[in-house]
Structure 1
Amino acid sequence: MKGTIKRIHEFTESEISELYELMDEFYENMDPEIFRHDFYAKDYCLVLEKNGRIVGFTTQKLMTVNVDGKEVKGVFSGDTIIHRDYWGDTELFRSFAQYWFRYAEEHGELWWFLICKGYKTYRILPLFWREFYPCRSCETPRDIKKIIDAYASALYPDEYNQTTGVVEYKSVKDCLRKGVADIDERRMKNKDIAFFCQVNPNWENGNDLVCLAKFDRSLLRRHMPELLFNGE
């Protein structure tokens, strides 16, 4: 498999349709016009291909928010999906990490602005990072909470709940289809998954937990730099 990141304006209509079809296979309540509007609101899209077929993608938007008079820069991840045939493969995230960690090293401090409507996305954080928020092991520091509130409020001014740290949508929202990321008793034994359910109890309705991590290799777990950047 090969991951390639391109600017949004470089995508053809045919490719955008293929991206939508992949999302529609795994998400309910999809709307092609809303998808297209959200897609064009982003700056980049990372596509994962296998034998000439798109099997995964994730969109990104560069953002700057003001926190206590300081500009804080980050990259916001939008629609993200990988075909079930490739669940467990790390190539999509490896390509994502290689691009944005390098970007941060070239352009200065950069945060990952992330929203999670399912445990699979949330688990990327404890799997790869030693330090991320929110997490089950500690309270979110006040300065970090301010960054989270700033970018979430900029993106979802009418639906972000600063108290819960969750985007609580007022209208019908796309959500994962049954069987895509179900949480049963076995999965609830995982403390990170249990924490995700605790802080985002209505995730099944499409609500998003707002999360934050820094693109800093020193904050990754011990063997992750070798896994992510080997052969870079």
Structure 2
Amino acid sequence: MSLLVSTRYTAWPIEHSRRVNIIELVTEGLIVKGLNERIYSRFIALKNLKTADTNAMYRIYSRFYQNTTHATFLDDLQNKTGAIVARTRSTKRIIGFSTLTVFDCDIDGKKIRGIFSGDTIVEPEFWGSRCLHVAFYRQILLARLRHPFTPLYWFLISKGYKTYLLLTRNFYDYYPDRNQPDSKLGDIVRAFSKQQYPNAFDPERMLLDFGEGAACLDENVAQITPEIRAQEPDIAYFEDCNPSWRQGTELPCAGEISFSALTKYCYHLSLKVIRLKLKQRAIAKTQSVPDALKGDAAGPEI
């Protein structure tokens, strides 16, 4: 269980047996998709978000969503606890964010706690970075440790399949799950949805419908084609659950944040980070070898 209470581990040979911080390793050490740009992320409480920060966040948001205004964005943000904000290390420019709030809910007289992820967006040139993932993991880890005996769930609503895939690829028990369509987590999702969005939740369709003119994904973002449906069963299942996603309806989802799930997630994340760093070092080493030596290394020409 030491993996749960500490973010440090021995990462040889990446750091020559030096103890490193897994958060820093991911959020500060990545060069994304060939860009020579390091990025990092931090959680910022709502009261500490500056006007310049929220303006930059909205500029990113408005690139990908239709039927939205700055005022609507700020109104929604006021209901959040804060946001995970990703920046470039050199210029401090905001390149992505994920809003968060923590709330309690009562189900059959039993108290449970939810961490609600709102808008989560990263600029396209930084897709592939896991900086928001790791900063989010740190937040759910802290929430789990602060209330170890209270059931904890990640609650999210998904306009498009990319958000839904964050759930399916990072959680072990979640809803909706194509492999367990009648999961007990369905009751958790209903309770969360009724509490957070009483006027928008449609219990028959298990969707949030904000009416005509609701914010929706830009037509050029995260489109679902027959080819994608055939290749990705999870994406096909998302569209089956939310067939009207193009009109802005949102699919409410939940994932259980148990200690066992956190342990598994941290273990797999650590392996991914190590593999990525080794790959980056191998690429950097290859690029630093003169062309003349590359030919010798490959053997003499015949």
Structure 2 partner of 1:17: 55
Structure 2 partner of 1:40: 78
The answer on whether the counterparts of 1:62 and 1:73 sit within 8 Å (CA) in structure 2 is yes
Matches within 5 A, 1:1-232: 1-50=39-88, 51=90, 52-108=92-148, 109-142=151-184, 144-189=185-230, 190-219=232-261, 224-228=265-269
Which structure would you say has the larger Rg?
Answer: 2
* Cα deviation, residue 209, structure 1: 0.5
DSSP 3-state at the match of 2:118: strand
Task: Give TM-score scaled by structure 2 length.
Answer: 0.72
Alpha-carbon distance in 2 for matches of 1:20, 1:155? 22
* Structure 1: runs of 5 or more not aligned: none
* Cα deviation, residue 219, structure 1: 2.8
DSSP 3-state at the match of 2:220: coil
The answer on whether the counterparts of 1:98 and 1:228 sit within 8 Å (CA) in structure 2 is no
Between the two proteins, the alignment pairs up a number of residues equal to: 229
Q: Give runs of ≥4 in structure 1 deviating > 6 Å.
A: none
- The Cα RMSD (Å) is 1.8
* Cα deviation, residue 227, structure 1: 4.3
* Cα deviation, residue 158, structure 1: 1.6
* Structure 2: runs of 5 or more not aligned: 1-38, 274-302
Task: Give TM-score scaled by structure 1 length.
Answer: 0.92
DSSP 3-state at the match of 1:154: helix
DSSP 3-state at the match of 1:137: coil
The answer on whether the counterparts of 1:128 and 1:220 sit within 8 Å (CA) in structure 2 is no
Q: For residue 173 of structure 1, what is the amino acid of its counterpart?
A: A
Alpha-carbon distance in 2 for matches of 1:102, 1:140? 30
Q: Deviations over 1:12-60 (max 9, x none)?
A: 1111111111100111111111111111111121001113111110111
Provide closer, same or farther for how the CA distance between residues 221 and 125 of structure 1 changes in structure 2, counting only shifts above 3 A: farther
